[in-house]
Amino acid sequence: MRRTSFAHMDCSIARSLEVVGGWWTLLILRDAFAGPVRFEELQRDLGIARTVLTERLQRLVDHGVLERKQYCQHPPRFEYHLSEKGHDLYPVIVGLMRWGDKWAAGEGGPPVVLTHTACGGEGHPVLACRHCGREVGPPDMVAAPNGPRFGTNGTRRVS
d(CA 16, CA 43): 24
Q: Tell which residue, 98, 156, 93, 104, has the closest CA to residue 122.
A: 98
Query: In this predicted model, what pLDDT tens digit does every residue of 94-118 receive, in sequence order?
Result: 999 999 999 999 899 999 999 999 9
d(CA 1, CA 154): 40
Contact indicator for 108, 124 with CB cutoff of 8 Å: no
Q: What mean pLDDT, rounded, does the chain reach?
A: 89
**Residue 7 CB neighbour total at 10 angstroms:** 10
Fold type of domain 12-88: Arc Repressor Mutant, subunit A (1.10.10)
27 against 9, higher pLDDT? 27
d(CA 151, CA 35): 44
Say whether pLDDT at 153 is over 60: no
Query: In this predicted model, what pLDDT tens digit does every residue of 30-55 receive, in sequence order?
Result: 999 999 999 999 999 999 999 999 99
Say whether pLDDT at 22 is over 60: yes
Contact indicator for 57, 66 with CB cutoff of 8 Å: yes
| Structure confidence at residue 148 as a pLDDT band (50, 70, 90) | low
Query: In this predicted model, what pLDDT tens digit does every residue of 125-143 receive, in sequence order?
Result: 889 999 999 999 999 999 8
d(CA 56, CA 25): 6
Least confident of 13-22, 81-90, 148-157: 148-157
Structural domain boundaries of the chain?
12-88
Distances (CA, A) of 29 to 23, 78, 159: 12, 16, 28
Mean pLDDT of 16-25: 92
